[in-house]
Structure 1
Amino acid sequence: MRFTSVAAAIGLTLLTVSTALQGQRPDDQIDPRSLALLEKGRSAQAAGNLQGATDLIETALAVDPRNRQAFIVLADIARAQDLDGKAIRLYREALLLEPNDIVALKGQGQALVAKGAVERAKENLVKIRKLCGAKACAEGTTLAAVIAKGPPPVTAAQVSPVNADTVAKN
């Protein structure tokens, strides 16, 4: 008698989990409408229309939020607009979908260096080198060069009024 209730509970749990898994699409099946919007966004980006590209790619993500390439392209656009914090977040979204995406790791590392987080960028470089194995890959070489160059210097225009007082005292 005691085992009957436990067996029934386990059976219901298995039934629930298997039903939920059957309703999900595999990660490699991105909605074709999302892919079409992504391509239109890439075309707009190539034409220099960054706002139009952003709108199209955000729509692609609304259609299918598992479109990892859309996150990467949006992050690239954010970096082109010097929005490195936004780019880091978008690359992180892509990496949540596929933690071993070398392009996203490289882009996030570059954005981290631009924000001054060189140590975190080095962690990305270690991951890239581990994924590439014995062969050298372009992404690892590019990120290593960006890390070696270091973050961009802070100009007087970028110093906030609060920090300006501190800088003036020193």
Structure 2
Amino acid sequence: MRFAPAAAALSLALAMTASVSIGQERDPDPRAGVLIAEGKSALNAGDTQGAIDAFEAALAVDPGYTPVFVLLAEAARSDGLQGKAIRYYREAIDRDPGNLAAIAGEGEALAEKGALDKARLNLAKVQSLCGDSCPETLSLANSIAAGARAQVVTAEVNVPDATTPQSN
């Protein structure tokens, strides 16, 4: 019983160091790394479906590598699939809550869909994590500003004038 406090302290110290090493960024599996490189080059060439295929294959090879979800989301956004991109960004955020690229990317996809209030929440998260001058903050702020400038056409805008005679 004399060793119980020392053993408890030692086990707590080991648990802390083990959890720190688990949370650190790691490199992907080498096979997944090749597929990720292929996906990035396909995305840069404008072949979004080829990029998505390569990123999904990389995810199958190394399902624990979170940055693949951000890459999948970027490919989906470039293909005009903001809803799918948001789902990938949220998976990345669930795995790594401090992932600036995922939080900012989700905000940009939300702004592209017109959900500016939700995008502003993401902007506040990014600003609290990295400040006002980091690239993620600036990119997301620009996307929100562009989304706010886009004029939305509603039914009220197209209401015919009551004084103008209508033809039957």
Same fold (TM over 0.5): yes
Q: 2:28 aligned with 1:30, yes or no?
A: yes
Cα displacement (A) at 1:167: 8.7
Identity of aligned residues (%): 44
Q: Give the Cα separation in 1 of the matches to 2:33 and 2:139.
A: 28
**Does residue 110 of the first structure (1) align with residue 114 of the second (2)?**
no
Q: What's the counterpart of residue 124 of structure 1?
A: 122
Find the aligned partners of 2:123 and 2:84 in 1 and give their Cα distance: 20
1:140 matched to 2:128? The reply is no
SS at the partner of 1:150?
A: helix
Is the helix fraction higher in 1 or 2? 1
CA distance in 2 between counterparts of 1:33 and 1:155 reads 48
Contact 1:75 1:88 in 2 (8 A): yes
Distance change in 2, residues 1:119/1:60 (3 Å): same
Gaps of at least 5 residues in structure 2 are 1-14, 161-168
Aligned residue runs from structure 1 range 92-107, under 5 A: 92-107=90-105
Structure 1 residue 29 displacement after superposition:
5.0
1:110 partner amino acid = E
Structure 1 ranges of 4+ moved more than 6 A: 166-170
Distance 1:35 1:90 in 2: 19
Match of 1:69 in 2: 67
- CA deviation after TM superposition for structure 1 residue 79, in Å: 0.8
Deviations 1:113-167 (A, max 9, x none): 111211111111111111114x6212111211221222544579xxxxxxx8x99
Q: How much is the aligned-residue C-alpha RMSD, in angstroms?
A: 2.8
TM-score (ref. length: structure 2): 0.71
Give the one of 33, 46, 49 matched to 2:47. Answer: 49
- 1:78 aligned partner, one-letter code: A
Deviation at 1:26, TM superposition (A): 3.7
CA distance in 2, matches of 1:142, 1:92: 18
Read off the aligned partner of 1:103 and give its amino acid letter. Answer: A
Query: Secondary structure of 1:65's partner?
Result: coil
Which segments of 5 or more consecutive residues in structure 1 lack a partner in the other structure?
1-17, 157-163
How many correspondences in the alignment?
139
User: Structure 1: which amino acid aligns with 2:92?
Assistant: A
Quote the offset at 1:53 in angstroms.
Answer: 1.2
SS across alignment from 1:143: helix
Q: Using a 3 Å threshold, how does the CA distance of structure 1 residues 77 and 61 change in structure 2: closer, same or farther?
A: same
Describe the SS at the equivalent of 1:62: helix
